[in-house]
Each structure stands twice: as C-alpha cells, then as structure tokens.
Structure 1
Amino acid sequence: MTRWKNPPISKSKRPSQLEKKLPRKQSRRNRRLSQSLPHKMMTSTLSLGELMPNDEPWEEEDPDALMKAQTKHDWISEPRFKKMFNEIEDGLQGVLGKGPFEWVDRRVFDAVFDRSTLLAIHKLMEKGDIETINYPIARGKEAHVFHATSSNGPVAVKIFHTTNAVFKGLAKYIDGDPRFEGLSGRHRKLVNIWVKKEFRNLRRLRKHGIRSPMPISYHKNVLIMELIGDKEASLRLRDVSIDEPYEVFLDLLEMTAVSWQKANLVHADLSEYNILWYDGEPWIIDVGQGVTNQHPHAEEFLVRDVTRLVKWINKQGFEAELAESMLRVLDEPVPDLPELPGGD
C-alpha cells in the first residue's frame, strides 16, 4: 500500500486506493482518465465479444459521464463499506493501476466494478478463492475476464455485467432448461442464474472428460475458474496456425458428440472464437449459454454449433459436409472419456 507523505493523514481519514481513483471535484473532470492498456494484453475473447486490441486505448471519458461516475460511486465512502475496501484494496492493485500492473482504464472500472460486484469479490477474497485481480484478458457483451492470482497460482476471474441491456435475448437459454425452471425473472437475478449455469455446465463437461476450464468458485456475478495457459491466457482457435486442422476438427466433433450423448448438453454458441488452443489441443470455453438436450431449441443449437465447426474446417482448405458431420455427432458411438478434476 502506498505510504502517504506530507501532510500526514490520520488512519481514520486515510482514503483507500479505490476512493482515490474516483473524481472529487468538477475542476478535475477534464483530466485524462484513460491510460495505456496492460503491458501484456492477452488475445482470448468471450462469445459474442470483441478482441481487446493492443494498440487502441479507450476513448477519454466525456465530462458528463465523469460526473455521473462521481455520483455513481458516492456510496464507497460510506463507513460500512470503507472497512471492506481497506481490506481488499491490495488485491485490486491491478484494476486500480498500482503494483506491477501499471495500467488503469476508467471505463473498464466503471463498467465492471459496481457495488454488487465489489461485494462479491470481497466475499470470494474472504473465502481465500482469490488474492489479487490483475488485468483484463478478454471482454464481451456479457462479461469481462481478468487474469488473477490465488494461493494455488494464476486463475481467470469472469465478471458478468449487471446492466439490463447486456442480457437482452439471453433468457431463452434459461427458459426451457429444466435445471432452472421457474428461476428467470428480474435482471440481476438472471445474471446470478447465468453464472451458476456456467459453473454447473463446466462441471458437467469435465465429468465427461471434455476439455474446458475447471470451475473453482462463484458468488453472485463473479465466476472463478482455471486459467487455460501457462501463466498467461491461451490464444483462440481462430488466432493460431495448426499443422493438422482436420484432426482437430474430428476432435471437436467428438467432444460435441460426447457432450450431446453423454453429458446431455449442447454448447449453443460454439465457434472458433470460444475455443482456446493450449498444449496442442482445443479447449471449450464460454459455456454459460449451454442447455440440456431436453431444451425445446436444443437440436437447433446443435445444428448451429456443428455448422460453425464445418465452416471453420472448410476455411482451412477441406471439404467437410454438414450432413455427415451431424451424423457423426448424433449417431456414432462415443468413448467414455476419463473424468477431469472438478467434474461433477
């Protein structure tokens, strides 16, 4: 924690690092709040999301947005929250632009770290599931993913956005899933259900040996899972050159078939954008929208997933057929893959 110099501030009056990042007066509102992105920006992304570029800083906040942010975060100074922030501010050095990760992006902070999210992070830190949140590695319409650390090493922290606009149209992936029958409702509740859904889908996939991140913990809109990569996040399938792409295509078809026939799940948004390439093998990510094969649209989602895989392999110079690929997924016997840690 940074030591304060002259004039000294008593312990009871010392503001947290989080409070110092918030605007205090109108005279400061034109100050540039956007700085450069992290020194090491990863290239993985979320489904329906965008790549975070290395060379394009965020646009500067306009004055009106800045003043709104000031009002938005006034609650941080309330005594009941101040103690909590003093406890976790070291763990948030990355998102505050402190420590070894010399970056800060006000738009990311304002979009992601609202009161509910910070309370959820505090809870997970109290449980010992994470120690620090360092820098973003991916962003999407539904969530940001951050590189973080735990007592066991690097992890990925996926923070789902809590604004109403984010989850428009996603209720169809919950309504019709018998595991969550009658649970859809107001937006914040829907977000929490979505996190629980992704956690459970990951556990089910790993139970049946499908390569996907091991889920570790979750609370409200925050999900902690295994980081796929050696200290840094792996690249997406679309961003790598593969020596034997057709073998990878067959591997992906087999995983899709095992998911459908054994795990009774369909990803519902499978594509080269949410498959990571790690240690010479494809890994499935972003499974929050996955539904059981009892869902009324399950077969439609399955056809869409396989269609995208066929398009990917055909772009590599092959001529795969959708009909033949669907037969492989639906009818060919699939192996019993060994269960992966964290499966259930």
Structure 2
Amino acid sequence: MSDEFGLIASDEADVPGDEWEEIDVSDTEADRIARRRDREFDDFRKRLKDADQFKVEQSVFDDATFAAIYKLVQDGHIEAFGGPISTGKEANVYEALGDEDTDVAAKIYRINASNFRQMRDYLEGDPRFEGIGHDKKQVVLAWTQKEFANLSRARQAGVRVPEPIAVERNVLVMELVGLVEDRARRLAEVNVENPQTAYEVVREYMRRLYSAGLVHGDLSEYNMIIHEGELVVIDLGQAVTVHHPNADEFLRRDCTNVAKFFSRQGLETDGDDLYEFVTTADPDPSGSPNDPSATDGANADDDG
C-alpha cells in the first residue's frame, strides 16, 4: 500500500487465466455430522441455538447449517461468535473470533433463500457450475463456494477484497474489514477528496478482475468500502466468468454505475470509455495510476 487509495501489488505470475475451479455440491462433512447427531454435536447445537445472536434464527438455520459451523469450529477457523453485522434475505453475517485471536466475518447463507431465482440467473452459463440442477440446497451451496472462489481469484489478480479463509457447506469465513463498532465506510458514505485517484484505482481493479476472467456484476459505490486508506471491493458472490452469456451486459452495467458515481464527484467519466479501458490489456503490468503524484493527499472523510 502506498498512499491513500494506492493500489495493492499484483503478482502477474500468479494471476489465473481460464482454468476454472471445480465446484462440488455433494454432501459435505457437515451433512454427515448432522445425520450422525452424536452427543457432542447435539450439545454444541443446543448451546448455539440458545445463544442470543442465534435465537431468532432457529426457524431458518437447519441442523446441517449448525453442523457446518461445528466443523469450522473443529477445524480452528472459528473460536467464538459475536453479534450479527448484517441480516439480509439471503444471508446473515456475524462477527467472530478466528484463529490466533483475529476478527473474522462468518457469512451464513439460508438454504431457503428468497432470491433463489436470481441466484440461478448468475450461476447458469458459468462454466464452473454446469450441471447444477433445480435443487435449492445445491444452488445455495454452489453460490457459497462461488463466492469463496471469486474472492480467491480476485486476490490472486491483485484486487483488494476480503481474504477468504474457509468455506463449509453454506457458511463462508472471511476477513473482517473494519470492526463492528468502527465499521469501514462504503464509498457512497464518504466525501472523496481525491476522486481522480479513487477512480483510477477502481478502474484498475475492474481491469484486473476482467483479466483474471471475472466480471463483478453488481459494482457500484455501495459495493466498495474505504478502510485505513484502502479501497476494498466487496460482495463478489454474484461475480461471473467472462464466458457467462450475460457477462458483457453485467460489465457494461458496472461501468455505467461507476462512471455515474465519479461524474457526480466532478470527473469527466463515461461508461463506454471505462468499458474500453477495462477490456483492453494493460501495457503497464504494474497497473499504476497514470499520474503517480495523484495519490498525494488523497483522502476520504465521513459525511458525518
């Protein structure tokens, strides 16, 4: 990290290409634990269901979900749970204590997600998910693994995203960017003192994603956050491969959203120009902003 909004380093040797991760939606160890229902798991499940942060979720978290959390605890990825960070129609996100006393986020997808049809729209046509049927459980499990794979691929490409740590069934553990009491601010919530620098970082991250074979698919000022001088791209669950039949449409929509936001910040930006930049190979592999001095004095203040 150099200065405010500076780009993170990109190791070109490790950037993935079109080799895609295999996604397995067959029963996991968590499913087997839930079926076995031994005394140790039963005791764990009862303690968790009695915890204040989970009491309201007893009707939506099935035994296999509790078994997934149990397996992540057994594997050392989660030591203890804190309170909920966010509660949505598809998933709840909880603050948790991870390995070596690090704060992590545990994202728990509901199997009976209400946006099941929308999930399928992003999965169908993605080469990693060929053969996913209409079974709701398989779709949600595939989506959870998809988000883990997308985060891993983005980090390999040099895009600042939350670090994925572990995935088990419908539970994803990842880096917690900011703390609950001092949360990172979305780009929409801050005054951007140097929008030119921020724009250059955003468009470079978009190009790195595209070069690694991914399109975010829902990028806007609401899916980027500022934390300790870093611009972090979040919510990659819906990101698709460049081979997805709607990838170009999604990318153009991302470019339009980003260009409109920075136009409101006073820059002369255009969605078509941004699209051209993102889809054109970078002649400078370092991906540095065009004007190195543009990082000087960049800042972002809360709106208050």
TM-score interval for Structure 1 and Structure 2 normalised by the shorter chain:
0.7 to 0.9
Note the residue ranges of structure 1 that are not aligned, 5 or more in a row.
1-77, 98-103, 339-344
Shift of 1:113: 2.9
Higher relative contact order (CA 8 A, sep 6+): 2
Establish whether residue 156 from structure 1 lines up as the match of residue 105 from structure 2: yes
Shift of 1:285: 1.1
In the aligned structure 1, how far is the partner of 2:284 from the partner of 2:60? 41
Residue in 2 that maps onto 1:65: none
CA RMSD of aligned residues (A): 2.5
Residue in 1 that maps onto 2:275: 326
Bigger CA drift: 235-244 or 249-258?
235-244
In the aligned structure 2, how far is the partner of 1:335 from the partner of 1:148? 40
4+ runs deviating over 6 angstroms: none
Q: How does 1:123-202 map to 2 (within 5 A)?
A: 123-152=71-100, 153-202=102-151
Residue in 2 that maps onto 1:86: 43
Contact 2:86 2:93 in 1 (8 A): yes
CA shift in 2, pair 1:314/1:288, >3 Å: same
In the aligned structure 1, how far is the partner of 2:113 from the partner of 2:54? 22
In the aligned structure 2, how far is the partner of 1:229 from the partner of 1:164? 27
Residue in 1 that maps onto 2:8: none
SS in 1 for 2:85: strand
Q: How does 1:38-53 map to 2 (within 5 A)?
A: none
Amino-acid identity (%): 37
Query: Given the alignment, which residue of 291, 298, 302 partners 2:240?
Result: 291
Note the residue ranges of structure 2 that are not aligned, 5 or more in a row.
1-34, 288-304
Bigger CA drift: 220-229 or 238-247?
238-247
CA shift in 2, pair 1:114/1:205, >3 Å: same
Establish whether residue 245 from structure 1 lines up as the match of residue 202 from structure 2: no
Aligned AA for 1:328? F
Q: TM-score, normalised by structure 1?
A: 0.67
In the aligned structure 2, how far is the partner of 1:212 from the partner of 1:334? 24
SS in 2 for 1:283: strand
Contact 2:150 2:239 in 1 (8 A): yes
Contact 2:79 2:96 in 1 (8 A): yes
In the aligned structure 1, how far is the partner of 2:161 from the partner of 2:37? 39
Aligned AA for 1:295? H
Contact 2:89 2:114 in 1 (8 A): no
CA shift in 2, pair 1:178/1:105, >3 Å: closer
CA shift in 2, pair 1:224/1:233, >3 Å: farther
Residue in 2 that maps onto 1:302: 251
Shift of 1:184: 3.6
More strand by share: 2
Shift of 1:288: 1.2
